[in-house]
Amino acid sequence: MNLKGETAVVCGAGGFIGGHLVKSLLEKGVNVVRAVDVKPLDEWYQVTPGVESLALDLKDKDACYKAAKGVKLVYQLAADMGGMGFIENNRALCMLSVLTNTHMLVAARDSGVERFFYSSSACVYNGDKQKDAHVTPLKEEDAYPALPEDGYGWEKLFSERMCRHFEEDFGLQCRVMYIDDCTKGTQAIMESEIHEPINLGSSELVTINQLVDIAEDIAGVKLERRYNLSAPKGVNGRNSDNTKIQQYLGWEPSIKLRDGLARTYAWIEKEMHALVSA
């Protein structure tokens, strides 16, 4: 299905991925009429000219109806999330994201939305399969039997089930993704006929020490490493089995970690030099 010319709202548009998704959709010809995030506009990563940008709390049902009004596509990326420390110390707050997903699904159904994209999380996966740093790549079916991350993961898994049943009971076509990266994959999944949760992430497995090794090499520096093993850390290992997305789309995320880090480092360095010379 080609979504060019269709009207869309991006929820969670003030975040890093959401902001880039808005621009990418516009470049592909999708008419993003509205971008929504709970944060004030001056705290968004980027605001796109020509798009109605609204600061709305989507846990509120009326705000969800305002977000979904007059669009055919909903990209639901909005969630209370702030890294593993946030997840482990704010389990009830993470669970309250179920209000956002419930109200957005109801608003989408009542507003005549045709397709609903839900960004889930790798935190839905069974924790027993992620106890070793060198894990077997996670397949979509590894989400069951259910033993997700407490709080955040349970909410995400429950919301996946809601998407499934809204499609079965009300005909709202839903696309569910375990997101790590990639606006290209988001668009491809939304346009596809994939009716089940699917991984969109890297198949690379890397330890934190290996990540530091790569960063040191790119920057040409050597860092002193100090370890705080009492800090929140989440699972010991995780990477994506991309068999299913290859079967459906003939594609998987292809940018290697080192290449992405090199591009990111170069961009940050450029921005820092610009600040110094300003």
Alpha helix (H) residue ranges in 90-182: 91-95, 97-110, 152-170
pLDDT band at 152 (very low <50, low <70, confident <90, very high): very high
Q: Does residue 73 lie in a domain region?
A: yes
Helix (H) or strand (E) holding 108: helix 97-110
**Tokens 């956002």, residue located:** 100
Total domain count, the chain: 1
Mean pLDDT confidence for 124-140: 80
Which pLDDT score is estimated for 230?
85
Q: Does residue 37 lie in a domain region?
A: yes
Which pLDDT score is estimated for 232?
75
On the question of pLDDT at 171 being above 70, the answer is yes
- The terminus-to-terminus CA distance of the chain in angstroms comes to 47
Q: Does residue 1 lie in a domain region?
A: no
Share of the chain above pLDDT 90, in %: 54
- pLDDT tens digit sequence for 27-72: 999 999 999 999 999 999 999 999 999 999 999 999 999 999 999 9
**Cα separation, 112 vs 13, whole angstroms:** 21
On the question of pLDDT at 135 being above 80, the answer is no
C-alpha 265, offset from chain centre? 22
Which pLDDT score is estimated for 116?
97
> Is 45 labeled as catalytic in the residue annotation?
no
On the question of pLDDT at 252 being above 70, the answer is yes
Q: Does residue 191 lie in a domain region?
A: yes
More reliable by pLDDT, 224 or 252: 224
**Cα separation, 152 vs 157, whole angstroms:** 9
Half-sphere exposure of 214 (CA within 13 A, CB side): 16
On the question of pLDDT at 246 being above 70, the answer is yes
**Cα separation, 197 vs 212, whole angstroms:** 32
User: Which of these is catalytic: 144, 152, 178, 227?
Assistant: 152
**Cα separation, 257 vs 273, whole angstroms:** 24
- pLDDT tens digit sequence for 90-121: 999 999 999 999 999 999 999 999 999 999 98
Q: Does residue 219 lie in a domain region?
A: no
More reliable by pLDDT, 270 or 52: 52
User: How many CB atoms are located within 10 Å of the residue 1 CB?
Assistant: 11
More reliable by pLDDT, 181 or 74: 74
Q: Are 164 and 174 in contact (CB under 8 A)?
A: yes
Q: What CATH number is given to the structural domain containing 25? A: 3.40.50.720
DSSP secondary structure of 17-63: HHHHHHHHHHHTT-EEEEEEESS-GGGSS---TTSEEEE--TTSHHH
On the question of pLDDT at 181 being above 60, the answer is no
Q: Does residue 165 lie in a domain region?
A: yes
Closest CA to 155 of 94, 209, 217, 245: 94
Mean pLDDT confidence for 175-186: 71
Query: Which structural domain, as residue segments, surrounds residue 89?
Result: 7-205+234-274
**Cα separation, 224 vs 130, whole angstroms:** 28
Q: Does residue 122 lie in a domain region?
A: yes
**Cα separation, 193 vs 199, whole angstroms:** 15
Which pLDDT score is estimated for 84?
81
Q: Does residue 2 lie in a domain region?
A: no
Please provide the average confidence, as pLDDT, over all residues in the chain. Answer: 89
On the question of pLDDT at 180 being above 60, the answer is no
**Cα separation, 108 vs 114, whole angstroms:** 8
